[in-house]
Amino acid sequence: MAIKIYPNRIEFEKYSLVINETGFLVTSNADPANTSAYGTFTAADTGLTSTYQGTTFGYVAGASPGPFPTGGFVPTACSVQRFPFATDSGATGVGNLSVKQSFAAGASSTTHGFVQGGGGGFPGPSYQTANIDRFPFSIPFSTSTSVGNITCARYSFNGGQSSYTHGYAAAGYVDPTPGNQSIIDKFSFAAPSICKVVGNLTQARYGAAAHSSANNGYVSNGNIGPAGNISRIDKFSFATDACVSFVGSTTCARNYSTGMSSAISGYSAGGGAGPAVTVIDKFPFIADGSSSSVGNLAQALFANSGVSGLNSGYSLGGEVPGITGSITKFPFATDTNSVCIGALTCCAYGLAGIQD
């Protein structure tokens, strides 16, 4: 029996298992429209999840003074904080970064958290870095370890992407020139000292939100310079380097919104669209398309940090104006507003979000 495997389906004899929003659809190969579907296996039936979501703790790394922009991007503290997914409670400090990193890109393997780039003397390149720091999830640590570098020193990330085996840092800003970046950097969790450029976004930007499905990384929103903010959503393949495409738009153009990811959808929350906004957008991973508004944050803010649990998305810190230390949570299963569940150890913005 011949078995053919495609990105979204498996064909065997005259049948196919097609991946859809809720799980697997069993259908006939002779029926591309799936009108003769024989049934479905839902995510609940199969235990279908992405490898991206955390099950134990959410983390944020780095800290910034404020308020924005007069306080600049130069971090005064380099703390790593974590909070539990099992209970609604505040964060505790668990360690420090080896160098100053603010507005960095976070990445999550099954065993470690990674913080890529960041810094931000504003203006000037004094504090921007290419450093990749790594810290373990399993044991207490005092200071994380520098394990490599992204391909160029830059900052103004508002999230990073993670596959099961690699971390990614897309977009960002190089101060003072050449400014906005479109590059997508990739490094192996097993060998983080080796990082390479694997593609370019369809539009250079900084302050973009990041999302990860099981198979693809996504970048939404951001600022492109004098022309202002954009609502564009780009997708890049984890399996095929340089395969980047425009797939849709968020509900409004903004920068420094933050990204979260369930197993089947990407979310962007908050951001600056002139004044900061409260909107939470959602777009599907299974089919390319634009976002729809599904709820609101507890307050309007930007430069907040996003963390993804199995069942919920979390927004941490941010600029109100004035800096907040709040942790808010919204469920993936139902479209609803976020609620405050705790606080960071100090008010901060521009933190890298990571999950275990």
**Which tops the pLDDT comparison, 321 or 131?**
131
DSSP string, 69-108: TTT-S--S--EEEEEESSS----EEEEE-SS---SPEEEE
Is 43 a residue whose pLDDT tops 50?
A: no
pTM: 0.85
Tell me the per-residue pLDDT of 110-119, one tens digit each, with 9 for 90 and over: 999 999 999 8
CA pair distance 316, 340, nearest whole angstrom: 10
Plot region of 156 (φ>0 → left; ψ -120 to 50 → alpha; else → beta): left
Is 255 a residue whose pLDDT tops 60?
A: yes
* Sheet of strand 216-220: strand arrangement: 209-212, 216-220, 232-237, 244-249
Tell me the per-residue pLDDT of 285-302, one tens digit each, with 9 for 90 and over: 999 999 999 999 999 999
Domain ranges of the chain: 3-46, 57-355
Which ranges of 37-172 does DSSP label H, i.e. alpha helix?
43-46
Query: How many angstroms from the chain centroid is the CA of residue 181?
Result: 17
| Homologous superfamily of domain range 57-355 | Kelch-type beta propeller (2.120.10.80)
Percent of the chain with pLDDT over 90: 69
Q: For residue 214, what pLDDT band results from cuts at 50, 70 and 90? A: very high
**Which tops the pLDDT comparison, 295 or 28?**
295
Per-residue model confidence (pLDDT) at position 6: 61
**Which tops the pLDDT comparison, 13 or 22?**
13
Which of 55-59, 98-102, 302-306, 310-314 has the weakest average pLDDT? 98-102
Phi, psi (rounded to 5 degrees) for 45: -65, -40
Query: How many angstroms from the chain centroid is the CA of residue 353?
Result: 7
Tell me the per-residue pLDDT of 168-208, one tens digit each, with 9 for 90 and over: 999 999 987 889 999 999 999 999 999 999 999 999 999 99
Residue 240: CB atoms within 10 A of its CB come to 13
Which of 17-31, 218-232, 334-348 has the weakest average pLDDT? 17-31
Q: What average pLDDT does the structure give for the chain?
A: 87
